[in-house]
Every structure is written in structure tokens, then in C-alpha cells.
Structure 1
């Protein structure tokens, strides 16, 4: 009895000169969105593009260089045309904070890598310092407060984004464990936690981030030399 063999049809490889940095970065984003950051390799990108992995080295030295380019591309997409100075310097700082927060939450897989400094991030710092300068702050305080604000936004949002990047079942189990652990605490040993009871926000409650941001912004506004001069 004759047997029939199925011959797998392979698609022709993409021509080496048909690749570009933009095409490779787009393919890298597709791989991460579908398979996760841990699966991002030149081999995976090559399969995504029907190209030999070695052809990617003509455009990027290694995965780290590619990842930096991808992160900067995502930032530019989120920030493009959004940071525009207005007459209200505090409103500008608040809008910038939410813009950065929303960007992290849009791409949670890259939360930790986004701490790396890139040209788009420099523009963000320029915007923060400009707003503080319009509030009457001098060079030293403008630089310090811009850095403090940036660190708060990125650190708090990174925690939120890292949770969002988890599989749904893991994230839900973590939230439930958080709630149950607090309910099981010894009331005599932790009387203050017992006192707040159900008022304690969950680990994914966005109010914690929003409250931290507002507390810092209110402090910056209250200390502003411009406001002090107007109230004198």
C-alpha cells in the first residue's frame, strides 16, 4: 500500500535588502504583544518577517540596541504632540504625569525597561523643568523637583504595569491573596490595620497612584515662588 507524504510548503525568505530598522522594530513589537518580552529574540523576529535572523544584525548590533529603539518608538507614539506648554504650569505637570502613566499602562510588558533614558525621555524632562520654571522655581529646585516627580510617576506606575502584565489568573489570585492575608492578621498585633478595615485599597486600586501624585503636586504648587509672591 502506497503512502502519501505531506510536503511542507515553505515560504521564500525575505530579501536581505528589504529590511529596515522600522520594519524590524514593528516586528519586534508584534512578537512581544503576542508572545511576551521573554520570547523576543532575533530568531523570533526573523520568523515574523520571513527573514534569516542574521540579516537583522545588519541593522541592530544586539537585542539590547533593538529593545532601546522599540521603547523609544513606543514613547514617541504615546507622547507625539501631547506635551504642549500652556499658561497653567500646574495643569501641564498634571497632564504630563497622566500621559506618562497611561503610556506605561498601555505597554506594561516594558515597564522595567522604560526606566532607561532615551531621547524621548529627555524631551519629557525638558517639559517638566519648563513648567517648574514658569512656576517661579530656580535652576536647582526645578531640576530636583522634576526628577522627584518623574521618579514618583515611573516607580508607582511600574508597579501597576507589572501587575497588569501578569496573566489574568495570576493577577486575580494575587489580589485575592492580598485581601485574605490582611483579614487573617492578628488584631491585637496590628490594631491600626484592623481599624481601617475594608478601607484599605487593593493592590490594583488606582486611587493609591492618583493620591500620591496629587500630594506631591499640591506640595510643589504650595512651595512655588510665583504663588508665594502673588500672596505676599
Structure 2
């Protein structure tokens, strides 16, 4: 009697060429979180110019149209990626009595996070980030300055200039690392020594009668590395903020 229940194959073995087939892999369901994660991977590996809805779709093994269900366009995706990165910044409990120390620590932490993600800092230069983590950082800085005694309007300007210093410096650094990758270099120290050496050679070749200071003080011009320059600019900003704080402390 032939078994027609479908529970067996009457003892007939499966051909080897069928056994070698891999079982079908079910695709994971798309979500905004997965799209943002894929976009961040593309940005970190290939840079902001390579980021597109099509490229992210390739990363997720799907079509670009399926992404638009969760993300309106590339601009929104970039805002979401930037906000995801800002979520890595650790913020302390605000202490107005230690506002300068806390702002310094925040700036160093934000700069470290942004510098660790290719040229993501460029995303903040074209608009005002409004994601949850952007608001969290803004509330911390703005509130800390106001509680320390700075009038809200001045605190707004101080926060704007501080943010531009952090973001602009991180973006400038990313441009150098992009050039380094394009040149096939892996050692950042070798790249920056070569870059500074070219600047020094050029300045030393300038006509001394027209550019006596640029030519005469080349070693001073190239003496400090990127981190030292960032810290110097940060101290200048904090000195200026401190000079505008009420002398009698918070109201």
C-alpha cells in the first residue's frame, strides 16, 4: 500500500544535490532602528558622501522603496544617525557650582564621540538637530549655563559657539582621516607628520621680506597637534564665558 499521508517518502532517499541546498533564510523585518544602524555602518566605513537610501538598502539586502516606509528621505536618515551618535555622550548630573569643569568635560566627551564616527559631525553644520539625544545635550549645556548665572540670551550664544567649536573641529579631523584612507595610509602619526612637513617646507620658501612672521616662526605654527589645538580653543571659549558670568555667582 502506498502511503499517501505525506508523512514520508516511501524510503526514497533525497538526492545529494538537494541535500546540499541551504535552507531558505527568512529576512528580518525592517524597522527604523535597523535602517539607522545600517546607515551608521555605511557612514563609518565609507563616509557621508557614500550614504544614500540605495546604499543603505544594499546593506540590508532590500530595495530602496522599502526604506521609505520607516524613513522619509536621506535628510531624515542623517538626522536619525546623528542623534544615535549623540546618544553615546555621557552626561553628568548638572552642578552649576562646577559649570566650567562640567562644560570642559562635556566638550571633550562630545568631541571624542563625534571624532569616532567618520564625518558624521558634518550633519550638524547644515541645520539644527532636534532629536531626543540632541535635545538632551542642549538642555544640559543651556540649563547649566543659566543655573550658573548667565542670562538666557547670552547662554544661548555661548552654547551655539561651544557647539560649533566641537562639531567644526571634529569635522575638520574627519577630512584628514578621509585623505589618509584615500592615500592608503593606516598610521595617523605618519600622515600628520608628512602633512605638517609639507606646510613647513612651503612656509620656509615664502619671500622673507613679504612674510617675515609666517616664514620666521614656522616651528611655532606647526608645534601643536589637533587635540592640543582643540583644548586651546576650548579654554579660550570657557575663559570668555567665565568673563561674562555674574561676579556674585548664580542668582
Q: Structure 1-normalised TM-score? A: 0.80
> Where does residue 193 of structure 1 map in the other structure?
214
Distance 2:172 2:107 in 1: 15
> Where does residue 161 of structure 1 map in the other structure?
174
> Where does residue 248 of structure 2 map in the other structure?
229
- Cα 1:22–1:11 change in 2 (3 A) is farther
Distance 2:25 2:74 in 1: 21
- Cα 1:205–1:31 change in 2 (3 A) is closer
- Cα 1:67–1:219 change in 2 (3 A) is closer
How far apart are 1:211 and its partner, in Å? 0.8
> Where does residue 215 of structure 1 map in the other structure?
236
Structure 2: gaps (5+ residues): 1-20
2:38 to 24, 27, 39: 27
Give the alignment's Cα RMSD to 1 decimal. Answer: 2.8
Q: Deviations over 1:181-219 (max 9, x none)?
A: 212111221112233231112695322221111012122
SS of the equivalent of 1:206 reads helix
> Where does residue 118 of structure 1 map in the other structure?
130
How far apart are 1:40 and its partner, in Å? 2.4
Distance 1:143 1:42 in 2: 35
Distance 2:229 2:211 in 1: 21
> Where does residue 179 of structure 1 map in the other structure?
200
Contact 2:146 2:155 in 1 (8 A): yes
> Where does residue 85 of structure 1 map in the other structure?
94
**How many residues are treated as equivalent by the alignment?**
217
Q: Relative to total residues, which structure has the larger helix share, 1 or 2?
A: 1
> Where does residue 101 of structure 1 map in the other structure?
111
Contact 2:44 2:118 in 1 (8 A): no
Distance 1:203 1:167 in 2: 19
Distance 1:63 1:140 in 2: 33
How far apart are 1:33 and its partner, in Å? 2.5
Distance 2:200 2:45 in 1: 31
Q: Deviations over 1:26-52 (max 9, x none)?
A: 112222233333332333223322223
Q: 1:151 and 2:164 equivalent? A: yes
Distance 2:23 2:40 in 1: 22
Structure 1: gaps (5+ residues): 1-8
